[in-house]
Amino acid sequence: MSIEVPRQFRPNLVLVSRRKAAGWESRKRGARELYRVGQQHGIRETPTVEAIEKAMYRHETGRVAVTDPIYRQLYCLAYEAKPHDLFGELTSDTKDRPHFSARSHKFVTAFVGAEGATRLRESAGCVPAMGEWHICYSAPIEHPEGDCTLYVWPCGSATFHLVEHVQLSTIAALAAWREVSYGDNIKWAIDYLAPIAPAEDESAVYVLGAHWVIEPAWPADLLEVALRIMSTPKVLLHRERAMDDEHLAHAELIEQSLLSEAYDHVGIESFGVRGISVGYASWSGVVYHPISSGRSLTEAEMVSCELAIQSMWAYSDAIARQVEQGRDPQVPPEHGWRYLRGVRSRLTVSRLRETGQHQAMRRAILRTCDLMPALDQAIETLRDTDRG
């Protein structure tokens, strides 16, 4: 299958930082402000708010350079800056570097409760999702940044599965992109859910990332090290520094250092098979590269595993939050401890026709995501309170 990806993909962190410095946390808000600026200055060709929002995504993530005169004018007016201040860094030498291409899978997960899940299913027109690890429903959803499918579990978990095609010159650029996009992804999910089935705790909405590497950019002797770094990309970033070009340049230096030092970490689990695939799981996410596509895992297998695990993370976390607030958890009887016991069995017990590679992936992801202690505690709690 041929996948088209951009030739150049480097976040324009100047545009991102200028937008957020103006107090516009979401691109939707930024698009409305750019539209207002265009109207105030009598720019007759000002695009619609929806068109500006999509363009801002492409510009900020570096998918395309800002060459359109209208957008250059709008940005300069809105941010009170000169073109060189906003767009000058896009002519950097990254175009000469080898690039890796990947599909980014983001699992944006929230807990909306059983009643909320019913409303969400009806509103989105969800149908039974075939082939998933436990019963859920799904529907395609319009999203400005990529292909998106909404998955809803009757117990109350909801996950937006967002797929984006990326081409990058460094893992540092991937780390920067994650840093600037995750907040937007969470905000978008919260806004989508709000009028239908609001998240029970907006602070608990999160993104888990997985990357399917199509074409690597590293020689064979550095491939495994590179993918280990990619599975823990935050190791390249400084927690206290703003995400700007200087930060990205520093992250690229750290990346080169870690590559030369054969970076590894106790929190990373391998599930690849020599000559067939390279795969790693960590608390931060999952990365996989099929060397022999006919013998490796499939992308759908990785996605199904993550969907099953993230749905239970959200449910177990919701139960834990009720307990920590001094309350007995309130859950429907059909989704009590017996339900969770069944899900735990599906997650941990090997299937008769499960391959060794699939078993290794499932175990690696379960060990690094730390779901099992939370799931076990939820089962024990619901048993103690006689729930289900």
Burial of 234 (C-beta count, 10 Å sphere; 0-12/13-18/19+): middle
CB atoms within 10 A of CB 15: 23
Question: What is the pTM for the complete model shown?
Answer: 0.79
Residue 83 pLDDT grade (very low, low, confident, very high; cuts 50, 70, 90) = confident
Whether 197 maps to a domain, the answer reads yes
Whether 26 maps to a domain, the answer reads yes
Specify whether 179 is located in the same domain as 318. yes
3-state SS, one letter per residue, for 51-101 = HHHHHHHHHHCCCCCCCCHHHHHHHHHHHCCCHHHHHHHHHCHHHHCCCEE
Number of domains in the chain: 2
Burial of 306 (C-beta count, 10 Å sphere; 0-12/13-18/19+): buried
Beta-sheet pairing, 285-290 with 277-281: antiparallel
Distance CA 46, CA 240 (A): 37
Whether 6 maps to a domain, the answer reads no
User: What confidence score (pLDDT) does residue 8 get?
Assistant: 47
Specify whether 226 is located in the same domain as 87. no
Region 186-204: what's the mean pLDDT?
96
Which range among 10-19, 247-256, 331-340 shows the weakest confidence by mean pLDDT? 10-19
pLDDT tens string 206-251:
999 999 999 999 999 999 999 999 999 999 998 777 777 778 888 8
Specify whether 196 is located in the same domain as 269. yes
CB atoms within 10 A of CB 203: 8
CB 46 within 8 A of CB 74: yes
Q: How far is CA 370 from CA 48, 106, 267, 292, 378, in A?
A: 45, 19, 11, 30, 13
Rounded to 10 degrees, what is the CA torsion of 132, 231, 276, 299? 30
**324, 365, 332, 336: which is closest to 348 by C-alpha?**
365
Specify whether 379 is located in the same domain as 242. yes
Structural domain of residue 24, as residue ranges?
13-92
pLDDT tens string 279-297:
999 999 999 999 998 999 9
Q: 38 or 246: whose pLDDT is higher?
A: 38
